[in-house]
Amino acid sequence: MTDTGPAPAPMASGRQGSATRTDGAGGVELRNVTKRFVTPTGAAMTAIRDVTLTVEPGQFCAVVGPTGCGKSTTLTLAAGLEMPSAGSVRVSGEPVTGITKGASFVFQSDALLPWKPVLDNVALGPMFRGMNKAEAKERARDWLRTVGLAGFEQHYPHQLSGGMRKRVSLAAALINEPSMLLMDEPFSALDVQTRAIMSNELLTLWDRQKPSVIFVTHDLEEAIGLADKVVVITAGPGTVKAEFEIDLPRPRGDVQSIRFNKRFLELYQQIWEALREEVDEAYARTSRTADRAQAAGGRV
């Protein structure tokens, strides 16, 4: 098994240019990054090993891989929440030493403060950066209108549906006009229809600001439908197995219907070939662990 995997798909000419921000901010560069965690009992666990990954400014990069392969770790490194054990992480050309400037994060669970109304939640970003309260709220109001939630400003998060909360999360993340947007399985808790709608809206919003995006998901269709580039991570400790350029034209239009596109299916097949081995490997490992646990349990 080689590290390069199947040959990358040929790049469509000209498309890359349209997706690039002119100011060059938001590019992410991970070089030979390894991250080890030390568990409370003192055992070391390698989450990712020797990951090299480049996301151009304004590029939409999806990261797929089996469960527990360290996809989320990659995001926390790019956000500056964690420091790499080895290797270097650079964002917008600067090495990451603390919380990355110009980054926003969208979590799987919506990280909204349940005790603040929606408007205050969205206004948090500008307020933390020193904008005065009234101005921050005014901008938050604009953003809520943009994501289609005008009239819900004074609702508490728990009064909204999952999809609406996700819109609030998006507004709260984008209001800081990030040059880099990090998304950790943002739509996986939504039902299928809401998910499709949110995917379309994400693309529309992304198109306005063109931040670079790292979008972690376990859903290959979602990855291909949204991204310029799909990166396959191996079973943990994760490392980059293969990268695929997605040369589907933009605007993608309806993410639901692009799945019937012939090129989409080709790409799906190629990437799935690369991903399947890793999924099988991860599954085999967990079942081995389960067997061992069972055997150990049997002895006791």
Tell me the closest approach of the beta carbon of residue 154 to other proteins, in angstroms: 11
Tell me the closest approach of the beta carbon of residue 200 to other proteins, in angstroms: 24
Q: Which is nearer to other proteins, 38 or 265 (CB)?
A: 38
Helix (H) or strand (E) holding 182: strand 180-184
Tell me the closest approach of the beta carbon of residue 141 to other proteins, in angstroms: 18
Distance CA 216, CA 62 (A): 6
In the numeric block, the tokens 């964002």 are attached to 91
- Which CA distances in Å does 99 have to 104, 106, 139, 210? 10, 15, 24, 21
Q: Which is nearer to other proteins, 72 or 217 (CB)?
A: 72
3-class secondary structure, 186: coil
Angle between helices 118-128 and 133-146 (to 10 degrees): 120
Distance CA 123, CA 186 (A): 20
Q: Which is nearer to other proteins, 105 or 143 (CB)?
A: 105
Nearest Cα neighbor of 238 from 50, 83, 80, 43 is: 50
Q: How many residues does the chain have?
A: 300
Tell me which residues touch other proteins (CB under 8 A): 76, 79, 81, 99-100, 103-105, 107, 109, 111, 113-116, 124-125, 128-129, 156, 158-159, 172, 176
Q: Which is nearer to other proteins, 69 or 160 (CB)?
A: 160
Tell me the closest approach of the beta carbon of residue 172 to other proteins, in angstroms: 7
Q: Which is nearer to other proteins, 177 or 266 (CB)?
A: 177
Q: Which is nearer to other proteins, 158 or 299 (CB)?
A: 158
- Write the DSSP string, 232-272: EEPSSSB-EEEEEE----SS---TTGGGGSHHHHHHHHHHH
Tell me the closest approach of the beta carbon of residue 190 to other proteins, in angstroms: 17
CB 59 within 8 A of CB 12: no
Q: Which is nearer to other proteins, 5 or 125 (CB)?
A: 125
CB 44 within 8 A of CB 37: yes
Which residue blocks in the chain are alpha helix, DSSP H?
15-19, 71-79, 118-128, 133-146, 162-174, 192-209, 220-226, 262-299
CA angle centred on 252, ends 250 and 256, rounded to 5°:
170
φ, ψ of residue 291 to 5 degrees: the values are -60, -45
Q: Which is nearer to other proteins, 164 or 172 (CB)?
A: 172
Tell me the closest approach of the beta carbon of residue 205 to other proteins, in angstroms: 17
Tell me the closest approach of the beta carbon of residue 196 to other proteins, in angstroms: 25
Tell me the closest approach of the beta carbon of residue 102 to other proteins, in angstroms: 10
